[in-house]
Amino acid sequence: MTFRLTRVLLLASVIVIVPGLAGLGGSVLLVGGALAVAGGLYAARDRLQTTPQVGGHELGYYGEALWLGGVVAAVVFLLGLPASPGELRALGGIVGLVGMANYFLRPVYRLLVVLFRAFFGTNA
């Protein structure tokens, strides 16, 4: 679950940063473009689900949720409608930072699960 969320947030980060690098500020067109990316990835999720296993990871497990990256990017664009290109790059960086923080906090999540199970029992 945490890997999926990390990949969704990193994809959203890329979708938000690229227009900022191209010199575009926040606009309704970017919201629509991000939703179009989400729709395309949603339509292709069955194909993405059948991707092979690489390095012990089933890429299809992550691929079927990538469409949410477009949705997250659309929300970020919507919240940052008056944003300048630099502000879009910063917003994309923040989304990516949240994704990486989620990735690096995985051991903490596991520790919390172990402590919860030790305290409340394994059936909880």
- Using pLDDT thresholds of 50, 70 and 90, give the confidence band for residue 123: low
Owning domain of residue 100: 2-120
Terminal alpha carbon distance of the chain: 19
More confident site: 46 or 89: 89
The CA distance from 59 to 61, in Å, is 5
Of 11-20, 45-54, 82-91, the least confident: 45-54
Residue with tokens 């991707």: 51
Distances (CA, A) of 35 to 19, 28, 29, 107, 109: 14, 11, 10, 33, 31
pLDDT at 56: 72
Residue 100 confidence (pLDDT) above 90:
yes
The 8-class DSSP code of residue 51 comes to P
Write down the H helix ranges in the chain. Answer: 2-21, 28-43, 45-49, 59-63, 67-79, 85-104, 106-120
Count CA atoms closer than 13 A to 8's CA, side-chain side: 20
The CA distance from 22 to 84, in Å, is 11
pLDDT at 39: 95
Residue 90 confidence (pLDDT) above 90:
yes
pLDDT per position as a tens digit, 15-27:
999 999 999 998 9
- Using pLDDT thresholds of 50, 70 and 90, give the confidence band for residue 121: confident
Measured from the Cβ of residue 41, the count of other Cβ atoms closer than 10 Å reads 20
Based on the structure, what is the number of domains in the chain? 1
pTM of the model: 0.83
